[in-house]
Each structure stands twice: as C-alpha cells, then as structure tokens.
Structure 1
C-alpha cells in the first residue's frame, strides 16, 4: 500500500495561528525514532485569498504554498491542494490546530495500518457553548439518509484518507459542505470509514453575532450539498 503522506492545509486569514500549527507538524515529523520513516512526506498550504500575512507565515514551513487571488472556499482550496499533492495518503487539517496538531499520529494510524480507507477525527467537547446543534443534526441526518452511514462527527475537517477515496468521487463540495459531501461519496462507494477520538483543538465560535453568522453559512452550505447529492449524486455540489 502507498504510504507517502501529503498534508494539505487550507488557510484564510490565519496568520496568527498557522505558524504554530506548521511548527508542531515539523516537530513530530523530525521527532520520529531513528530508523523509522518520517510520519509525513509533504506539507502543502493553500492560501485561499488571505488579506493578512498567512502566506509569509506559512512559507518557511511548507513545501509549497499555493495561492488563490480570491477566496474560493474550503472545498475548492482542498481540491486545489489535492491536485498538487504527491502522496498516496492525503491528510486534511485546519490551520488553527496549533499545539494540538501533535496528535496527528492518532488520526493517521488507521489508514497507515490498512484498517480504514478514511479516518475522521472526533474532537473533544468544546470548552464553551456554541450553537444549538442544528448544522450537526442536519449533516448527520443527511449523511444517514443518502448513504446509510451514521456519522458521529459529520462536520469534522480533520481527515486522513487514501487518495483513491478522493479520486473515485465527484469533485469536492464547495465551502462548508466539503466534509458532508466527502463522507456521503465515500460511504456510497463502500470505503471503510473510521471515526477516531483525537484531542485536536481549534478556534471555537460562541453564541455571538459572528458565531451565528458562521453557523448560518455552514447550514446553507451543508443544505445545498445534501440537495445536490440527492438530486445529482454524480455531479459537483456548489
């Protein structure tokens, strides 16, 4: 089985956090035991139309920083990164994991061992109250209804997968529908999905105006993805 691992990190205005995340990934790579292969082989960052210093913060640490002049959205950014990645195993991580990125080996283990075709991280409960679970509930319901798979972490963006899982699916859903669409495609195709508890931590949104706006955009993106997967299962979701 192909064991070359490419990490792909989409980033939009993450200058304050992405440097810490990338440094942590390098620390665990270089900290591998003598005589063992490195945990990962390639690190790509997709600067998705950032207006801050995301590019300059990522440049010293990434093998390549791909730049979009405009904000394409998470799904399109990941698709861009996957198209340039060399690995047979792809890892999707968020840019704001910072020190918790050290737990990557837990996520990678099921795919490296051959126990799963796609591993999805189940994160710890948030430290502060966020939304009311509407987006997560919609995602869970839609995935189960359209593929038969019951997802505990339907919105998790921290994933490791064999490239063929991505290559055999329709193009990735745009924006916040990416995770839901990818899970549906993988389950429909019969790939083995395993959800694993990983103590990743990232920026949390609260019950404020900004948080509700974020979750509103999520809800719309997930809804649109589900509708497209229902009506046009072989076509690209928006």
Structure 2
C-alpha cells in the first residue's frame, strides 16, 4: 500500500502571514494523522519562511506516523535532522533561496558527497531518500550512494498529464522498474493532485509513499481537511 505523507509547509506559510499561531501547525499535523495521513512532511528552509526550526522540534515530539524532513544537506540541515531523528530524511538539491524544489540530484557528479551524507544519516538511524529526476542514468549512481529510497520528481509528469498521460508517465514507469531491480524503495512527490495521482499509482503500483502539500492544502479550502485527506487516500486505493 502506498502511504500518503502530508506536507504541511503551506499551513506554516498561512500562519506566518499574521505572525501569531493560527493555524497551529502542530495541531494541523495531529489532525491530519487523525484524518488518515500516514506521514507528515516538512521542508524547513534557512529563512524560516514557512516551517521554522522550532516547528520541527515541536512536531517531532507528537507525530506518531512517519515524520519526513526534506532539505538541502548543508550543516544546518544535518545538525537539525540528526538531533530530531525523523523516520526519513529526503535530500533535495535546491539552494536555500529556491521557492520550491525544481529538479532532482545529479547523482553522478554528486555521488561522493551523497554517499558520505547518506552514511552519516543512516548511522543516526534515519532512513534516507534522494530526490531524483526520471532519467535512467541517475539510478545506478543513486544505488551506489547507499540510499534506502529515491523520490521521483513528478512535476514533469503533472505538466504533461492532461495532454497525454501515457506519454507523461512512460519515463517514470521505466525508472521505477530500474529502482525496483536495484532494490531501492520508491517515493514520489511534486505537483501530484486529485487529477493525476490515481493514474501514477496505477502505473507504478509498488510506490512506497507520496508526499503532497500544495495541492492538498488548496483542495482543503474547498472540501475541508478531513475530507480532502480521505479523497487523496482513495486515489491511492483505486
């Protein structure tokens, strides 16, 4: 079964707009779990424009599903993750000032660095996932880093889905098979929504986890958070 991890960055963005604690990020995470989320994802950035460092510590105390922390593995991120010890750390290559992640790792040129980072996190008891583009050339080098999983960067799939969904998913099916053969766990995330999620899951039935934030929070404005989480869960069960 593919798990749904809810990224709550956008909840923190809304809170920070007024400077108080409404909505309460911790309470939303607890409610998301109660409503059916099987994981909570955060991506703390250095400028704390959404998730703050203190949020990470507060969430770590109460999250009972899988806690996933995403980020660029600079020293700040590594120190935070090793102290909190989430279930999973997802390594992304985007610089600190990026609005959102927009590409995966070049696991060829960065293999040595990633290998050291993966080892360091695993020694702390943390499962590691590397954010990766759906290009065959990056998968064998990813395996050589020692990572437990890779997370497929799915924005290109989402962009092409409405024009030709079979064409859009083709590269993902191909690299998913390679990941499976290599013994890599498989996550996916970025721009997945109620329209394109079920087809991705049907095409790659052995996905371990999807991480969804922006679209899910936008849908919750119309459908309510509890109903929205259940709607996304159903897309993964079709």
Q: TM-score, with normalisation over the residues of structure 2?
A: 0.31
Judging by fraction of residues, say which structure has more helix: 2
Q: TM-score, with normalisation over the residues of structure 1?
A: 0.31
